[in-house]
Amino acid sequence: MKKLVLGSLSAVLLASSMTATAMDAEDAIQFRQAGYKFMAWNMAKIKAMAIDESVEWNPAQVQAAANSIAATANSGMGALFIPGTEQNVGDTKTRVKPEMFTDIEGVTEVGMAFHKAATELAAAAETGDKAAIAKAFGATGQSCKGCHDKFRKD
């Protein structure tokens, strides 16, 4: 629960403290996109093993992927949504909707759902139970979609 609270706080409140490092808006967009892209790879690995069964089942690899997703989800990515990053910056394009910077209640809701799902996916992966992992994977995917539908342009 401690991590969930930290995640939620980071999504909403830490931006101000991080701007003290004078992070460049373009860097901030690229860092957050890197985090999402790396999670996409790890999600794809779990999907291939637990859902599609196109890659041989390997509990250690599933656990490593789930740990990476959970750690990324709990890394305080909210701090990367600094003012100025609600739009394209230079050659760096973003699909974020400006509403993500104003709908604090909505952001908190999807953020909490994602942190919870990712943390539960890592816990399921630790058991090695394929059915439980598949279920937690589905819930994590839904939590990703929850944010995409609300705060990401097509």
- List residues near a second copy by CB under 8 A: 2-3, 6, 10, 14, 17-18, 20-21, 30-31, 33-35, 37-38, 40-42, 44-45, 48, 54-56, 60-61, 64-65, 67-68, 70-72, 74-76, 80
CB of 10 to a second copy, least distance (A): 8
Task: For residue 39, give the nearest of 123, 107, 150, 115 by alpha carbon.
Answer: 115
Name residues whose C-beta falls within 8 Å of residue 33's C-beta, 6 or more positions apart in sequence: 94
CA 28 – CA 82 distance, rounded (Å): 7
Task: For residue 80, give the nearest of 92, 91, 70, 68 by alpha carbon.
Answer: 92
Measured from the CB atom, the residue of 44 and 104 that comes closer to a second copy is: 44
CB of 7 to a second copy, least distance (A): 9
Measured from the CB atom, the residue of 150 and 152 that comes closer to a second copy is: 152
CA 117 – CA 121 distance, rounded (Å): 6
Measured from the CB atom, the residue of 61 and 108 that comes closer to a second copy is: 61
